[in-house]
Amino acid sequence: MHKLEEQINTAVNYLQGFNYHQARVGIVLGTGLGQLIHHIQIEKSIPYNEIPHFPLSTVESHKGQLIYGKIGDTPVIAMQGRFHYYEGYSMQEITFPIRVMKALGIRHLLLSNAAGGMNPAFKNGDMVLLDDHINLQPENPLRGLNSSFFGTRFPDMSQPYDKQLGSLLQSAAADKGLTLHTGVYVSVTGPNLETRAEYRFLRLIGADMVGMSTVPEVIVANQLQLPCAAISVITDECDPDNLKAVSLEEIIAVAGTADKKLSELFVSVIKHL
């Protein structure tokens, strides 16, 4: 048995003792995006450091708790903080919670992130539904996992984001009078932000927004045949000809302006899953 398989089983057995196996939707909350928690009837909240083999979130805006509860009648698991390659974790550690949530029984996965907007049509605070992505991370979470326990070895990625979930999010946005753009997300290593030349390059290869997360989790979700959807909140406008310095505090503040709208979208869709 692969060491990772043993670790997944250990974490699953631990969480089953707190009814996490009843969840049907998994949620990953990105930087500065946490208001969804207020919509959950929380039944249990466990710090990551108490869950066997879970990494610890080192980003100050990520609280590092795994929450179980309900949104409407739908039981959910919410990650209040995710993990990133730039924190020093391996890709398999970053995506460990996705495998655990799937093993617990979730049927859908919703993800959010804060991203820099390179498409000139995107402004700070805009929400963008990921239609596709470009992976520029230096590692792959599937490398070396040759057992069928982990899923197919060569997962198809022609449709990484589930069209039905995307349609539900678009319909929910329309019903609420909210604008939900669509775009291509590019995932880079970080933790530094990009140079002017790098923004030009990333735009040239087809990306609308850039961030440091999400893609590894989506790759694993596709291997596990777990339907997923992701929304980026644009937290800084990355126009290389008019580029301004930005801090993490500013990024978190801008994310917070869209957090309520994003939470409403997720809540509306989750209630129908």
Please give the tally of structural domains in the chain: 1
Cα–chain-centroid distance for residue 259?
14
Report CA dihedral (82, 86, 87, 90) to the nearest 10 degrees: 80
Q: What CATH number corresponds to the domain at position 98?
A: 3.40.50.1580
The confidence score (pLDDT) of residue 72 equals 94
Range of the domain at 100: 3-270
- The long-range contacts involving 88-93, CB below 8 angstroms and separated by at least 24 positions, are 89/55, 90/139, 91/137, 91/139, 91/140, 91/141, 91/143, 91/216, 92/4, 92/141, 92/145, 93/55
Contacts of residue 137, defined as CB under 8 A and 6 or more positions apart, other chains included, come to: 85, 91, 187, 188, 189, 215, 216
Count of residues making up the chain: 273
The confidence score (pLDDT) of residue 57 equals 78
What confidence tens digit (pLDDT) does each residue in 213-240 have?
Answer: 999 999 999 999 999 999 999 999 999 9
Q: pTM of the full predicted structure?
A: 0.96
Rounded to whole angstroms, the Cα distance separating 47 from 40 reads 17
Contacts of residue 54, defined as CB under 8 A and 6 or more positions apart, other chains included, come to: 11, 48, 66, 96, 97
The confidence score (pLDDT) of residue 1 equals 64
The confidence score (pLDDT) of residue 62 equals 55
Rounded to whole angstroms, the Cα distance separating 116 from 239 reads 10
The confidence score (pLDDT) of residue 61 equals 56
Rounded to whole angstroms, the Cα distance separating 130 from 253 reads 22
Rounded to whole angstroms, the Cα distance separating 19 from 64 reads 19
Q: What are the tokens at 173?
A: 């946005």
Q: Is 188 helix (H, G, I), strand (E, B) or coil?
A: coil
What confidence tens digit (pLDDT) does each residue in 155-173 have?
Answer: 999 999 999 999 999 999 9
Cα–chain-centroid distance for residue 13?
24
The confidence score (pLDDT) of residue 60 equals 60
Pick out the chain residues at pLDDT < 70: 1, 59-62
Rounded to whole angstroms, the Cα distance separating 13 from 87 reads 27
What are phi and psi for residue 173, nearest 5 degrees? -65, -45
